[in-house]
Chain A
Amino acid sequence: MTTITSLPDGTVAPMNGPAPTIVLDGVVKTFGTNRALDGLALRVPGGQITVLLGPNGAGKTTAIRTITGAFTPESGSVTVFGLDPAQHGDEVRARCGVVSAKPALYDRLSGLDNLRYSAELYGLGRGSMVDAGIVEAAARFGIEASLHDQVGGYSTGMKTRLALSRSVLHRPDLLLYDEPTSGLDPESSHAVLELIREMTGDGSTVVMCTHLLLEAEGLADQVVILQDGTNLVEGSPDELTQRYWPDALVRLGADDPAALDALRDHPGVVGYDRTGLIAVVRLDGPERVPDLVAALTAAGARVTRVEPHEPTLEDLYFAVRQASGHSRLGAVAGSAV
């Protein structure tokens, strides 16, 4: 898959790989004087997990609500499954499963009745066959034993699991998760993320919003970083890493600063920065690392650390925000490499 880049005119560049399930071009949505989406351009490939990253107020939730047609943008175009949700909202929504930051469950009803309500609205009807499907969906998220209890008595984790069950009950083609792990403990969060990962196995497209970088790590096939209603960058984590860190990085530690500084002129070294007895060295290729270690040893230094640096999504996030001039923290993170 190639990197997707938003163009200055708010459109998106063509892409290879899976056909896009969602295409947003130059979408603008305002609330009063607040421009929630400001020319947002986005392509979500089918059958993959796309993670929308961004701070609070970046426009993630508004983007989700625009995708389902709950909001109609002032300008720009939105296409989901080839349809405009503003005109064909009911058709689009019937193929979507949504979990919002709040689970949006009816506390006075039982878990079973909550899922029955959803089943009926999504056209599954009623009856024993539907109930069997409900139990199956609940079992997928480990909540089937509590289906007959009133939801008001559920823990936050149970509510999230029930909301996730509800979102897959009608076997949607597109799953939209807006901070689904909000309020969950780390163990429950991990379990939920595992389940989301599993869902792409049956061909579903997943869009997940989060401001927690650790959540997106290892989960995202594609990352979109939003800020002030527009996307700063989008692409797969590998592509973005390659784009922002085209050179190999290694942290080297030695007890002789002079020997470390001598590496600055070593073949293949394209960047060098030392703090105390730790040097961060940028190389034209990772195969240079053994040569550097050998050079240090030959200079009589005792090597204390050899640590190839693999940028995390957090590094990527701050690098992107730093590049766009949005983050003071980014400058700190960026300076480390």
Chain B
Amino acid sequence: MATAVADRVRRPLQWGHIRTVARTDLKQLAQARDYWIPMLILGAIFFVFVPTVLLFTITQLGDVNAVSQLSQALEVLPERAQDQIQGDTETARAGYALAVYLFAPVAVVVPITISTAVGAATIVGERERGTGEFLAHSPAGIREIFLGKLLASLIPGYLTTIVGFGIYSLIVNTIVGPEVGGWFFPTRQWWILMLWVVPPFLALTLSLVLRLSAKVKSTAAAQQASALVSLPLIMVAYSQATGSLYGGDALGWYIGAVAWVLAVIGLWRGVRVVTRGRLLGVADEQ
């Protein structure tokens, strides 16, 4: 008699297969300039262009009106966050607050947007191109294929963010640093945000996006559905990222831990949706 899926012999994950799937997907992505050039532009706008213009306007051009408006906006920040703002002048404090607190969502929006764009096409794309047939008949386990594709979707977004974060750090330290007595960025909360809070939100989003990619019939449908899924997640991640910066270290660790738990659950559920049948384009095959 046929054997149920649950009875299949489970062997340990082969990281070599995961690496190979991820590397090959990334190699294909690197060949697709029409894919990664918009990514770079998005990262450059959020991490370089906008911060540079705003911070330069406040600190160097001495735009009194802008500084005044920003100072009023700072009053809505939690007391803990206000206490941490450095600088002796209003301009310095405005620049510091802008750099540390108001650009936090950037760290979330960029990776989720980029990774969602990549992830949405990853499984349905194999099916559309017919290459799913190769993977379905290969000895790579379905969990390995899923995780390889997850990595291949996660890396472009996260890498862009990390590189952008590095450039952003240079920019804010260069522009605002002299106003507040030297290099101050990244703060401890930003390290927690980047290394502990952002990755699970990214993984959680991708677990949903890859599930959609396995289920829908076309790349276009996957991108539409992924946009619907990622938008609320961006909003949640946005608020949580901001909270982790405003609320101090403990809150950041707590938010990250909860996000990791949700991400693991999302991944566990996501991997069950991907089947060899779905790689072959047969929806109800388990």
Residue B8 interfacial (CB < 8 Å): yes
Q: A117–B136 contact, CB under 8 A?
A: no
Residue B62 interfacial (CB < 8 Å): no
Min CB–CB distance A154 → chain B (angstroms):
14
> Which 7 interchain pairs have the tightest Cβ spacing?
A102-B130, A94-B139, A104-B134, A98-B137, A86-B3, A70-B276, A120-B20
A120 to B3, CA, bound (A): 29
Min CB–CB distance A174 → chain B (angstroms):
11
What per-residue 1/0 map shows which CB atoms of A122-150 lie under 8 Å from chain B?
A: 11000000000000000000000000001
Chain A residue numbers with a CB within 8 Å of B136 are 65, 68, 70
Within 8 A of A (CB), among B246-286: 276-277, 279-280, 282, 284-286
Q: B2–A104 contact, CB under 8 A?
A: no
Stretch of B23-31, B111-119, B160-168, B183-191 contacting A (4+ beta carbons < 8 Å): B23-31
Q: A73–B24 contact, CB under 8 A?
A: no
Chain B residue numbers with a CB within 8 Å of A70 are 136-137, 276-277, 279-280
Complex: chain B residue closest to A73, CB-CB: B2
What per-residue 1/0 map shows which CB atoms of B144-159 lie under 8 Å from chain A?
A: 0000000000000000
Chain B residue numbers with a CB within 8 Å of A166 are 134
Residue A275 interfacial (CB < 8 Å): no
Q: B17–A121 contact, CB under 8 A?
A: yes
Chain B residue numbers with a CB within 8 Å of A194 are none
Min CB–CB distance B4 → chain A (angstroms):
8
Q: A117–B24 contact, CB under 8 A?
A: yes
Q: B139–A123 contact, CB under 8 A?
A: yes
| Interface set of A (CB-CB < 8 Å, partner B) | 31-32, 65, 68-77, 84, 86-91, 93-94, 96, 98, 100, 102-109, 113, 117-118, 120-123, 150, 166, 176
Chain B residue numbers with a CB within 8 Å of A91 are 139
A313 to B141, CA, bound (A): 40
What per-residue 1/0 map shows which CB atoms of B62-104 lie under 8 Å from chain A?
A: 0000000000000000000000000000000000000000000
Q: Tell me which of A65, A68, A98, A113 has the highest count of chain B C-beta atoms within 10 A of its own C-beta.
A: A65
Min CB–CB distance A53 → chain B (angstroms):
21
Min CB–CB distance A22 → chain B (angstroms):
15
Tell which of B27, B130, B282, B284 touches A109, judged by Cβ atoms closer than 8 Å.
Answer: B27
A156 to B276, CA, bound (A): 26
Q: A74–B31 contact, CB under 8 A?
A: no
Q: A72–B2 contact, CB under 8 A?
A: yes
Chain A residue numbers with a CB within 8 Å of B284 are 31-32
Min CB–CB distance B217 → chain A (angstroms):
15
Complex: chain B residue closest to A117, CB-CB: B24
Q: A108–B32 contact, CB under 8 A?
A: yes
Chain B residue numbers with a CB within 8 Å of A103 are 130
Complex: chain A residue closest to B16, CB-CB: A120
Q: A107–B5 contact, CB under 8 A?
A: no
Tell which of B17, B28, B277 touches A106, judged by Cβ atoms closer than 8 Å.
Answer: B28
Q: A113–B133 contact, CB under 8 A?
A: no
A-B contact pairs, 17 of them (CB 8 A): A65-B136, A71-B276, A71-B282, A73-B2, A74-B2, A84-B3, A86-B8, A87-B9, A88-B9, A93-B137, A93-B138, A100-B134, A104-B131, A104-B134, A117-B24, A121-B138, A123-B139
Chain B residue numbers with a CB within 8 Å of A105 are 131, 134
Min CB–CB distance B73 → chain A (angstroms):
47
Q: B280–A90 contact, CB under 8 A?
A: no
Q: Tell me which of A31, A76, A90 has the highest count of chain B C-beta atoms within 10 A of its own C-beta.
A: A90
Q: B27–A113 contact, CB under 8 A?
A: yes
Q: B20–A109 contact, CB under 8 A?
A: no
Min CB–CB distance A118 → chain B (angstroms):
7
Q: B133–A104 contact, CB under 8 A?
A: yes
Chain B residue numbers with a CB within 8 Å of A74 are 2
Q: A106–B282 contact, CB under 8 A?
A: no
Chain B residue numbers with a CB within 8 Å of A102 are 130, 133
Tell which of A32, A65, A77 touches B280, judged by Cβ atoms closer than 8 Å.
Answer: A65
Within 8 A of A (CB), among B5-56: 5, 7-9, 11, 16-17, 20-21, 24, 27-28, 31-32
Complex: chain A residue closest to B29, CB-CB: A108
Chain A residue numbers with a CB within 8 Å of B11 are 90
Residue B140 interfacial (CB < 8 Å): yes
Chain A residue numbers with a CB within 8 Å of B1 are 75-77
Complex: chain A residue closest to B21, CB-CB: A121
Chain B residue numbers with a CB within 8 Å of A113 are 24, 27
Q: B285–A71 contact, CB under 8 A?
A: yes
